[in-house]
Structures are given as C-alpha cells and as structure tokens.
Structure 1
Amino acid sequence: MSEKYKILFLSAEVSPFAKTGGLGDVGGSLPKALHELGHDVRVVMPAFQKIEAGYPGVTPMPGSLMVPTGTGQLPAGVFQSTLPKSDVPIYFIAEGNLFNRSQLYGYNDDAYRFAFFSRAALELTVALDWKPDIVHAHDWHTAPALAWLSTAGQGYEAFRGIATVFTIHNLAHQGKTSWHIFDYMGLQTHALAEEGYNEVNFMARGIYHATMVNTVSPTYAQEIMTPAGGAGMDALLRHRHYDVHGILNGLDYEEWDPAADGRLASHYDAENLANRIHNRRALQARANLPQRDNIPLIAMVSRLDWQKGLDITGHVIHLLMNGLSGDAQFIVLGTGDPAYEEMFARLAGYHPEKMTAFLSYDANFAPLIYAGSDMFLMPSLFEPCGLGQLIAMRYGSVPVVRATGGLADTVQDSETGFLFNDYNADAFWNALQRAIYVYNVDKPRWQTIQQNGMMTDFSWQRSATGYHQLYEWAIARTLQG
C-alpha cells in the first residue's frame, strides 16, 4: 500500500467524546486503523457540552478561527486532543451558542449548527497550514462541507483539487432545512429533484456533491438504491450507482475482547469456551432467573425502536416464554419507544421465572449479556451495518437475525448464526426454532457455530483497507477533473 494520504475526517460523533450510535463508534475507531496504514488523519467534531465543561486530556488551542458566513465572519474556538490509545489528532470546533447544549441533536437550528461546524472545519485546515488530499464526511451533518467545497470552495486555491468521500450511516436522517441556508453558507447552486420547494436536503447534497459515496455494508448499499430502502434518495443513488460502494464497519477488538474484558465474570476465547458458563450464571443471578445450565438463554440488547424489528418480536417472545420450543430464558436490555418498553415489561410480568426486562441502557452490563447468553436476536426491518451481531459473535452468542443490510453480510446461515428473510413473526420464529433445535440436540455442532463466529475477522484493519481503495478511486477521479 504505497500511497499515504492526508485525510480530513469530519463526524458529528466520535467515541468516547460523543456517541449516540454506530456513527460514534466509526468516528473513534476507523481513523486509528487508517493511521496504522500510514495515513495522516485529522479528526474534527463539534465541541459539545461535555468538551466545553472540561474533558480529560482536551486542551484549548490559542487564538480563534474566523468563520465566513453570509452575515459576516463569526469567531469559533478550537480544542484539541488525540484519540484514546493513539496519536491521531482530534479537533473540536467550539461555539457556545451552537454546541454547548444538553443534547447533540434535535434542535430547530440543527442545519445552521452543522453548516457552521462544516465550514469551520474547512477553515481549520487553513489555520493548520495543512491541505488534505481527502475530505471524508459522515452523514448529513457534515454534508455542508462537501456542498461548499464543490461550489464556492472552487474559487480558493486552498480548497481546490480535494477529493471527497461521503459515508451514509443512516439514510433516514436527512437534515432538511430552508434554502436560506445557502445564503448563510455563501454559495450558489441549483435545486435537486430530491428537494421540495425552497428546501435543502443535506443528505441529498452529500450524495450529489461527493466524489465517492459509500455506506456501511455491501447489502445496504444495494438496498438504498430501491424505492423500499431508499428513503426518497433511491433515484439519486441509482444515478450515481458507479460511485456507490459498501464497506462493512469493523469492531474495536481492544474494547470487545472476551479474553480480557474487565466487565465479565470470567474470561474465555474460542479455544476455551468452558469458562463461558461462569458468565451465564452471573447473568442469571443479575437477572434474578433460576440458575439452569442446559436450557437456551436468549438475549436482546437494542434501542427499542421500530427499525429494530420489535413489531414482530412480541409474538415470538410470547411463543418462546409459553414453552412452544421447550424451556428457555429471555433477557432484554434497552430503552426507547414507550410502547415497546411496555410490551417487554408486560411479558416479563407474565413470566418472572423465565424473563427479565432491563428497560434502561447500561454499557457496563451489556458485555455480560453477550458473554452469558446462548443466542442473540436482531430481527431488524433494516440495518445499515449493525454492531450487536458482531459483538455477539465475538463473545460466542449465536445471532438469530433478519437477512438485511449488514446482518446479511456478516452472519452466515447455519455456519455463524441463523437467518430469516421475510419480515414477519412466523419467519422469525422458525429461525429461532432452528437455532434452539441445534442447541438442544447437537452440542458439538453448536460449539462449532460459536467458534466460527468468534474466529471471523471483523477488525477495523480490514475495513480501513477498503477505505484506502475508495480514497484511491476518489483521488484518481479528482485528478481526471
């Protein structure tokens, strides 16, 4: 891998500094893997409230950035640090009125907040006297950088000739706002077919303006080009289909390692599965369930959201708890939609000896669920990549998943887990029954399925190699003009 690139990595979330989902995991892990390949990666994110309040190891840079806007230049502060366990620099754009708030998102002025952030991140490269070869933007929050670069930015030598990559993590969140945002950003352009009257859609802008587009699994890259999966962007994505790619997310193998995870009751690996029993018993004790070793212990760790397939889950858990596939125990950890929280609370109330619902999120408890359960459920309606099934396999919990998006790309039916295709409770129940049958009657085969999953390579190193290839294509395209 000869070419080494200067990569400006823009993300609204970077773990551990800010995280609401998979975007934060990518922001915290992929830059380190790219750095290990020899690239000069600089990460930029907003200085949210936790940073402004004083985050360990984060220090202010002297001076301030002057950020051009349609209403004049506005000052922004900059904090700096490095990603944990690395020397990858990360910079935080500080503007107290915009970012020093209790939540990351959900405000009426979100489009302006992230347009300001995007423009400030580009100005930061000038202040650092560092011109990137690639601007790698993630989700709609950073798409304003790509829109400005490919229009007004072409009038400045500092921003000319930069290739861009736009990564879609969740197509459903699109960053819609009024056309006035372009006055604020100081650019002129035309409307897109995906935009309503007087509307700007930053997801569409990212797809339209980027040199290359990718999403976080090969199957999801195909699904978003269909009317069913395209969230209104499918025609634009089909128009750009030669430039749309799928690269699977990785898993941080330092954070998720059953042989060293301090949150477990006992450590183990693929060669020594016997110690998993201690995690099972610790999990049953924590859940106030009977300590039974030879019945399937089935789990879910999930945001309780319609996307996660919970519409078809209630009936399946009802059948499971009523013994239609023999004795079993079930544990769920998650929070979200009150209707789904009530569904799980009621089921747990009916079956207190078999089921416990932890209706909260506890990051330190989740690893014990992965390490102590036999099966892990992910019946998602759609799933761009999915992290739960990767962690489950790493920890020897066999995933039962719907064959969509990244789930279809990472779980091999009857080899590393069990899949179903149709989005209905019957198909889900049949897949779960297949898994329970193997667990109950063929222990050697069950152990092989566990070990296959544990030994599959989902490291970030593999993903980083895919992104390196994407950068090469983007730079070649840019050089061609």
Structure 2
Amino acid sequence: AAPADAAPTAAATDAAPPFAAAQGGDGASPAEIFMPRRLPSPLGVPLGSGEAWMGVWETFIEPGTPGAPAPRVYLLEHDVLYDRDGIYGDAHGEFGDNLARYALLSRGALQLCHALGFWPDIVHVHDWQSALVPLYINVLEHRSPLARAATVLTIHNLGYQGWFNKFQLPTTGLGWDQFHRFCLEAHDSINLLKAGIYNATLVSTVSPRYAQEIQTWEGGEGLDGVLRDRGSDVIGILNGIDDSIWNPATDPHIAATFSAEDLSGKGLCKAALQREMGLEERPDVPLLGLISRLATQKGIDILAGALDHILSLDVQLVILGSGERWAEDLFSRISGASDRFRVYVGMNEGLAHRIEAGADLFLMPSRYEPCGLNQLYSQRYGTLPVVRAVGGLDDTVENNVTGFKFEEMSSMALGNTVAWAVHLYRADPAYFRTMQLRAMKKNFGWSHAARQYEALYRLAISRRTGRPI
C-alpha cells in the first residue's frame, strides 16, 4: 500500500474502485469482522493550495443489541500529521500545525463521503476540532450531494475554541470572504468553534444547565453573544453512562458486588479500599473520594483551601488523578504525613471503580462542569456526591435527596457542605441510607439521551431541508 502521505501510484489509480463496502462472509469470526483493514488506495484530500493523501481503514463496532447490524467505522491515517506522542501537543507545547491537522480531518471526512458515494442526512461534529465541517458543507459543498446534509455541533467544553493566527487561513482552503465576525473572525484571529456555531444547523451541549450558562457573560468564554444569536437553536442534552460497565451488581473491579436491594457488599468495598490505600479500617468513619484532573477548572484549589477543615471532621479522603504540578506535589506531601488522606497520582481504571464503590461521599467542587460523569457513577454506586451547583452537576444531583450542593465557589462553602453531609451520615444514618437508595435507583443510562438525540436529528434535518421528518 502507498504511504499515507504519498500520491497514489498509477496502478492504484487505474485499479477498480477501492471504496466498495466490505462484506464479511457468513463464516467470518468476530476477530476477523472487527479487525481494522486498510483499504487498498489512499484518499486525496484538498489541503491549502495542494492535496494531502490519507490512508483509509475500515472496521466495525460490535452492536449493542445482539443480532443488530454492526455499525461501520472508517479511520483516516496520515502519519506525518497524526503519528505523534500527543494529541494536541507535547512537552514542548501545542503543535504549530494543529490547524492543518484538524482541517485535514474535517475535509477528509467529507472527501470520504464522496469516495464512498455516501450522502448522509446529518453530520454530527464535536468541539473545535471538527467545527470546520459545517462551514465546509455550507461553502465548499454547496453544489454537491452533501449540501443537503444537516449538521449538529456539540460543545463539550466551551473553554477550548481553536484559536489560530489569521494568516494561517489559506491552510483551511477557505477564502478571506469567510473571515468576518459572523464566521471565522474573532479579535482579528481565527476561531474555529465560533465558525461552527454560526454554520451548524443546530448546536447542542451536554446538559440543559450548561446550555443556559454558556449564553451568559460569566459562562460564555467570550462567545456568549454568538450563542445568544443562535437562541433556541442551542439545546442541552444530558450525557449518559455505560451502565453495563458502571454497575455495582456486576463490577469485576470491586471487592464485593451490591445493589439497591442488598447494600451489604458496599461495606466490604469500603474496608477493601481502606486497606488498599493504607488507611485505618474503620467502618464508622465517613470515607470521601475524588477522581479528577487536578486542575483549577475542577476546583482543586478550593479543595486545597478546605482540606484542613474537612480532615478535622474525622473523615478519610482518597484522591485519584493527575494534573497541575502544584496540586500533585501538595497532595503527595499531605498524603505522606497524614493518616487520614491518600492520593494516587495518575490514572487507574480499577482503582476508580473501587473508589466509587467504597466511598460514602464523592467530591466535585468544579468551577464549571458541562456535564460531568463521576457524579452519575457515584449515585449508581450509592456514593452521595457533594457538588457545586453548575452545569450537569446541578442537573443531575438533587440537594439533600441524592446528594449535596453548594453555590459559592469558595473553600468555606465546600467545607461547610462536606460538614453537613458528614453530620447527616453520623446523626441520621437511616436518612443517609434512604438517600443512597434513591440515588442508586436513578436511571442515567443512554436510552433517554438516545431518544433526545433522535429528536434533535429530526429537527435538524427538517430545518435543513424545509420538510418534516
């Protein structure tokens, strides 16, 4: 096969069309069906004033419903641009060619549609990395069959917008007529997310509260006016969780399984976590957990400020995560000196499950949180979340019903809310148990979100085509 960044050979050019749908034989094993295979010819993609050549791989995703068709997936390969140690940058900083990397990904997806003869009803893109796709469809594909495709742009985190120097614009293949305040231009620079917001048929976020917050000055990260321009086109749909993986009744990572019908295994998980982390094995002490990037966005600074207060409550606290160096160093230092506090710097999937299963309370003091997942995992495991009432945290935690919420972004507010939760744990264990059972019975699976996305897609197609679907 030709290298991913090389021009096609004459033999490849003259060969039969290489993008025909692959068919698995009746006798094909699952490993054969799901093993990615490289298609025989590269894909030419316009990039800047020239053309880049990408390898194309094809595979399938195992269907969630037995017997259902396996969804087909295509992967685009360009080793020069993508085969690197980091996704957006490395130890030396962000890659200087990120605009070319993600413009190629976006344009390549549309070129693949042409090569396959596949004309989608809707294209769903995510964040700045693929925010050029709606603009490409509106401007560069307006005379192709792709012009009929509706687009949905989902904003997972408005803090990341894809800013680039305006003189890199030719890299995108777009003209200067697109460099204006209702498209790519922001403060005399390129802002990819802004262009996506203005050009997508509909815009979605990952929780209803976050959809409201990003249209305010406080939460809009400079794009609140742009999002208010889209008004009712901005729709919040809460993320779901994979409740087959995050299920205390079947979880293979935890010391004992349990459920809302039988919580006895949770106490065994707590004891096992205390032993694993080198804490005194005490069933009566409230055990707090936190799994997070150790970053300012996640409120790690106010946790640091509240730590003395929290530990004075005769509790134990286990933290799993990595991030800002000051936080790693501070928590590691305290962990070595305290008999109530432990930190594991890094990520560990099994330990994450054991913290969710073994802790009594889970801390999420985020500055902003588009959706959040750990508060959903925690409730599933009967571990009551203590959260700041922002974004998806506010949407999914009911104060004094399935968890505890605070408004003010301060160490005092966090410490006082933890103190209230600890008091309830000790003073009214029956009500605390009632809260655990309520939380465990909530349904945070994907089924509800899937129905909402189907309705969103139908609305987007109707808006694009002018006819209901």
Interval of TM-score (by shorter of Structure 1 and Structure 2): 0.7 to 0.9
State the distance in 2 between where 1:404 and 1:184 align.
Answer: 38
State the distance in 2 between where 1:190 and 1:314 align.
Answer: 44
State the distance in 2 between where 1:347 and 1:318 align.
Answer: 10
Say yes or no: does 1:199 pair with 2:185: no
> Which of 320, 333, 339 is matched with 2:320 structurally?
333
1:338-368 superposed Cα distances (whole Å, 9 cap, x missing partner): 11112212322331x2111111111121100
Relative to the length of structure 2, the TM-score reads: 0.87
Which position in structure 2 is the counterpart of 1:80? 58
**Shift of the alpha carbon at 1:94?**
0.4
Contact 2:179/2:185 (CA < 8 Å) preserved in 1? no
State the distance in 2 between where 1:347 and 1:403 align.
Answer: 28
Which position in structure 2 is the counterpart of 1:220? 210
**Shift of the alpha carbon at 1:330?**
0.8
1:390-425 superposed Cα distances (whole Å, 9 cap, x missing partner): 111111111000000000000000110000011111
Which position in structure 2 is the counterpart of 1:460? 446
More moved, 283-292 vs 337-346: 337-346
More moved, 122-131 vs 292-301: 122-131
**Shift of the alpha carbon at 1:62?**
2.3
Count of matched residue positions in the alignment of Structure 1 and Structure 2? 422
**Shift of the alpha carbon at 1:123?**
1.1
Say yes or no: does 1:248 pair with 2:238: yes
Contact 2:127/2:156 (CA < 8 Å) preserved in 1? yes
State the distance in 1 between where 2:116 and 2:437 align.
Answer: 48
State the distance in 1 between where 2:62 and 2:281 align.
Answer: 39
Contact 2:99/2:172 (CA < 8 Å) preserved in 1? no
More moved, 196-205 vs 133-142: 196-205
Q: 2:180 is paired with a residue of what secondary structure?
A: coil
Relative to the length of structure 1, the TM-score reads: 0.85
Contact 2:246/2:377 (CA < 8 Å) preserved in 1? yes
After superposition, residues 421-440 of structure 1 pair within 5 angstroms as: 421-440=407-426
Say yes or no: does 1:127 pair with 2:105: no
1:153-210 superposed Cα distances (whole Å, 9 cap, x missing partner): 1132x21111000000011111112335543333332412683465211110111100
Which position in structure 2 is the counterpart of 1:52? none
Which position in structure 1 is the counterpart of 2:124? 136
1:424-460 superposed Cα distances (whole Å, 9 cap, x missing partner): 1111112111111111011121111111111111111
1:229-262 superposed Cα distances (whole Å, 9 cap, x missing partner): 1111001001111100100000011111111111
**Shift of the alpha carbon at 1:218?**
0.5
Q: 1:240 is paired with a residue of what secondary structure?
A: helix
After superposition, residues 389-468 of structure 1 pair within 5 angstroms as: 389-468=375-454
**Shift of the alpha carbon at 1:144?**
1.2
State the distance in 2 between where 1:418 and 1:456 align.
Answer: 16
Q: 1:364 is paired with a residue of what secondary structure?
A: helix
State the distance in 2 between where 1:228 and 1:417 align.
Answer: 25
State the distance in 1 between where 2:59 and 2:263 align.
Answer: 39
Contact 1:318/1:347 (CA < 8 Å) preserved in 2? no
Which position in structure 2 is the counterpart of 1:94? 77
The structure showing larger relative contact order (alpha-carbon pairs under 8 Å, at least 6 residues apart) is 1
* Equivalent residue letter for 2:344: F
Say yes or no: does 1:267 pair with 2:257: yes
State the distance in 2 between where 1:438 and 1:122 align.
Answer: 56
State the distance in 2 between where 1:301 and 1:85 align.
Answer: 30
Q: 2:362 is paired with a residue of what secondary structure?
A: strand
Q: 2:185 is paired with a residue of what secondary structure?
A: coil
State the distance in 1 between where 2:71 and 2:436 align.
Answer: 35
**Shift of the alpha carbon at 1:317?**
1.9
Q: 2:142 is paired with a residue of what secondary structure?
A: helix
Percent identity of paired positions between Structure 1 and Structure 2:
38
1:35-64 superposed Cα distances (whole Å, 9 cap, x missing partner): xxxxxxx9xxxxxxxxxxxxx822212222
Q: 1:154 is paired with a residue of what secondary structure?
A: coil
Which position in structure 1 is the counterpart of 2:296? 306
Runs of 5+ consecutive residues of structure 1 not aligned to the other structure = 1-41, 43-55
Larger radius of gyration: 2
Once superposed, what is the RMSD of the aligned Cα atoms? Answer: 1.7
Contact 1:304/1:334 (CA < 8 Å) preserved in 2? yes
State the distance in 2 between where 1:320 and 1:260 align.
Answer: 32
State the distance in 1 between where 2:39 and 2:400 align.
Answer: 54
Which position in structure 2 is the counterpart of 1:104? 87
Which position in structure 2 is the counterpart of 1:343? 330
**Shift of the alpha carbon at 1:151?**
1.1
* Equivalent residue letter for 2:420: R
State the distance in 1 between where 2:157 and 2:461 align.
Answer: 25
